[in-house]
Amino acid sequence: MLPLRRLLWIAAKRVAADERVQAKASQVIEAEIKPRARAAWGRTKPKLERARSELRDMAAETDPRRDPGAFVANVAKRLRRRRRS
């Protein structure tokens, strides 16, 4: 198995060093991957900001450093409420 792995590693290094492969990879990244990543981030960012805001509100109600058990209970209670809705 080791010689096959070594051969595959050498082949991968040669392909990665090929300028044509690098140019094609760059085109794919610019044309396909970056637009998809930007679109996904556009959909995800508002949800993350809402979650951050909710966590800040919960931390203001119950300090997680002083009473971690109550904080976790508060988070669990909000999650249960959200699932019912």
Q: Can you give the pLDDT at residue 20?
A: 96
**Calpha distance 53→57 (Å, rounded):** 6
Alpha carbon of 45 to those of 22, 59, 70: distances in Å?
31, 21, 28
Decide: pTM greater than 0.75: no
53 HSE (CA, 13 A, CB side): 6
Contacting residues for 15 by C-beta, under 8 A, at least 6 apart: 21
Mean pLDDT by runs of 10 across the 85 residues of the chain is 89 94 96 98 96 91 91 89 78
The reported pLDDT for the residue numbered 4 is: 92
